Each structure stands twice: as structure tokens, then as C-alpha cells.
Homo-oligomer: A and B are copies of this chain.
Amino acid sequence: MRALGELLKAVDGEYAIKTAQELVRIPSENPPGREKDVTEYILRELKRLKFDDIKISEAEPDRPNIIAKLHGRLGTRTLLLNGHMDVVPAGSGWTVPPYGGVIRDGRLWGRGACDMKGGLAAILAVAKAYRDAALQPEGNILFTFVVDEEMGGKKGTGFLADRGLLKADMAIVAEPSNFRLSVSEGGVVWIKLIIHGKQAHTINAKAAINPIEKASKVIQELQRLNEKLQKLRHPKFGSPVLSVNVIRGGDKINIVPAQCVLQADLRLPPGIGISVKEAQAYIEQSLKELTIQDSLLRVEMEFSVVAYPFEQPEDTQIVELLKSATKAVLGHEAEWWHRDTGAILPKEDSDVFHLWTKCRIPSVYFGPGEVELAHAVDESIRIEEIVQAAKIFTLTAFMAVGG
């Protein structure tokens, strides 16, 4: 236990806070995807920490992902610590400078403070703790600093996963989760239905095909489908939801319009026995049957899978280790957080999605920061949480790969 004591003593809270502050001061908005300055900052930091195995891999120019490996004595097991470098655009309406890195009232303020430069700093603090304690772990720690998470991660974690660059036995994705645990996610499919009619003046309405009237049938059919889907149920994620949330048709009150557009949002829990593909086919089939009943109904359908549902077991080793470490550092158990039940997320596939579905690495979405503040105006993070995260991650690493 002497090694653990040395390691925990070496967790440098001030370093973690200062690093988070410096990272907030470097804009890395995505879109458009300008992570490069953050990449360079982290590369300098990794070199200062004497990493000798650093790989750069990019899906497109100027959007480099970093893979840095802290080699273990035996190297039999590997823990992956993942963080994304991009932030959503600051937007307007801020009462603090979004890239000022102001620390006030115990909080670090700015775009990305919470999502997730606090988490990035906590990960870097793990590396520094091992270096400062002059400890080499038994297993490896793989650090990945990635781009593009805010747009679905296809050029970030997804890209590294696709290229087979990620080998690990477990992973932490240090996203803001209020220190809650998430390993599975619901799916999101956005559906656009364009209903084609035939335009005419009201006075020639008999020659028209009114797409708004046709849309009313489609809406009611989708409502029936929603009721059927409700019968499927995940004990934690609940039932699917299919909801028509946007409708637009016509712009002149005296003209029967040529088309009416519906947008529907489908939420699909994982593990309920229906895949995204099957749900899509189910909807397509139902609407096709409707067009058979009504030969004047013409519907064009577009399905966009925003996020695929996936389910990991909840009793993996990394979950147990994070639970113990959280209990040790915070004094209470980490709760479960079933994303997409009661939260607006996910908007895109998360990096946990890529790590689990592509690499089968048991991965946990877990980190400092109140998720409610992510993407918000006047985003901030309690600086104490950054330090707590550094401690939890370091302790977890020690338990996972030794010291």
C-alpha cells in the first residue's frame, strides 16, 4: 500500500485546475472542428511528462487525435482513459468571457469547462501522478485525446476504433456525468416524411391533392405505431417513443400546397428486442400499407440514425473499480445514470458507443461536471470536482493496472 499512498499523494490538484483553466482558454469549437491548438497543448504536456510512445492519427487534416501510452512493467492489461478535445460553439449571451478561463466562486467558467476540459485535465493529472511518484504501473495506461465527439466522433474515437488502434481491457470516458455511471445508451432516429400533394388554388381544390390532409392520416398512423411500440419495455430505459414534433406545410392561405413535411423523433431503448433497422422497417412497412389504402398518398421517407442504442453489462470490472474509487474519494456510492431517460442526450453517438460497439472494450461514461451545464451559456465546473476526478481516476488506475 506504500505505492498507492505515494501515488495518491502525487495527485496534483493545483496542476489539474491550472491545466483545465489553460485548456478552456484555447478555443476548440466543433463545428467547425478546430481542435488543433488543444492537441498541440496536450502534446507539449505529454512530452513534459516524458511520454515516449505518442501516436498521432487523423481522419482529416488539422484534426489530430492523440494516442499516448504509459507502458507497464508487464503490460498484460490495459486501461484506456479517453477525453475529447472539441467543444460546442460558445454562441452568445454570456456574462463571462467564454474563453477567459475565469475562476470565481469555486468554479472555472467558460465553454468546455464542464464538457470536458475539466475531465481532460483530470486525465492528464493521472499521468502526472505516476510520473511524480516515479511509479511504473504493472499494466498499461492508454491515453486518448480525441477530436469530433460533439459531432458524433466518427473522426475521433470512432476513427481510431475503426483503424484498430484501440486495444484495452476497460475504459473510462471522462465526460461530465455528475460522477454518475453510464454504460448503455438509448438510440435516436430522426425521421423526415415528405408528403407530396398537388398544388392548386382553393377554388380549384377539387383538382388538388391536399398534402396537409394526407399528413393527418400519416400522423395518426405514427400515433398507432407509437402505441404498439410502447408495449416493448426495458426495465431501466423504459419504452420506445415515436413522436411527430415538427410539421410544415403551405405558406399561402389561398393555395393548397404541393407538400407537407413531418419530422418525427424515435427513441429506442437498447435491449428490447428491436434494432434500429427493424424499427425503421416497421415504420416504412406501415406507411407503405397506408399508401396502398389511399392511392393518392405519396410519402417520401428519410431516416437518420443519430445514435444507435447499445447495452453493456453493468457488472464489469471497470464499473466496480470506479464505484470503489468514488466511494473512497467522495464518501458515497456512484449512482447509475441511464442516459436518454429524463435527459436530452444523446444527440450523437458517444465515445462509449464507439469503444463498446466497435472494440468491445467495457467502457464507462463517468466524470466531473454537472451535465446540465454542458453546452449551456455560462458553462462552468466546480474546480473541486476536477481534483476529485483526478483522485478517482488515479485510484481506479492503480486498482486496474497497479503501480
Is chain A's binding surface mostly helix, strand, loop or mixed? mixed
Which residues from B are CB-within-8-Å of A264?
A: 253
Q: Give chain B nearest CB distance to A195 CB in angstroms.
A: 11
Q: Does A44 lie at the interface of the complex (its beta carbon under 8 Å from any beta carbon of B)?
A: no
Mark A224-250 against chain B: 1 for CB-CB distance below 8 A, else 0.
000000000000000001011111111
Residue from A208, A247, A267 having most chain B Cβ neighbours under 10 A: A247
Q: Give chain B nearest CB distance to A279 CB in angstroms.
A: 14
Tier of interface size on chain A: 35 or more
Q: Does A344 lie at the interface of the complex (its beta carbon under 8 Å from any beta carbon of B)?
A: yes
Which residues from B are CB-within-8-Å of A341?
A: 203
Beta-carbon contact of A254 and B215 below 8 Å = no
Which residues from B are CB-within-8-Å of A215?
A: 216, 219, 247
In the bound assembly, the distance between CA atoms of A202 and B242 in angstroms comes to: 8
Q: Does A255 lie at the interface of the complex (its beta carbon under 8 Å from any beta carbon of B)?
A: yes
Which residues from B are CB-within-8-Å of A204?
A: 342
Q: Does A190 lie at the interface of the complex (its beta carbon under 8 Å from any beta carbon of B)?
A: yes
Task: Report how many copies the assembly holds.
Answer: 2
Out of B190, B216, B223, B250, name the residue touching A220 (CB < 8 Å): B216
* Chain A contacts with B in 150-201, Cβ cutoff 8 A: 188, 190, 201
Q: Give chain B nearest CB distance to A21 CB in angstroms.
A: 33
Beta-carbon contact of A245 and B252 below 8 Å = yes
Q: Does A340 lie at the interface of the complex (its beta carbon under 8 Å from any beta carbon of B)?
A: yes
Which residues from B are CB-within-8-Å of A343?
A: 203
Knowing that A203-B343, A245-B252, A253-B264 are A-B contacts, what are 18 other residue pairs whose CB atoms are under 8 Å apart, sorted by A's residue number? A190-B253, A202-B243, A210-B244, A213-B219, A213-B220, A215-B216, A215-B247, A216-B217, A216-B223, A245-B253, A245-B254, A245-B255, A245-B257, A246-B253, A246-B257, A247-B250, A248-B248, A248-B249
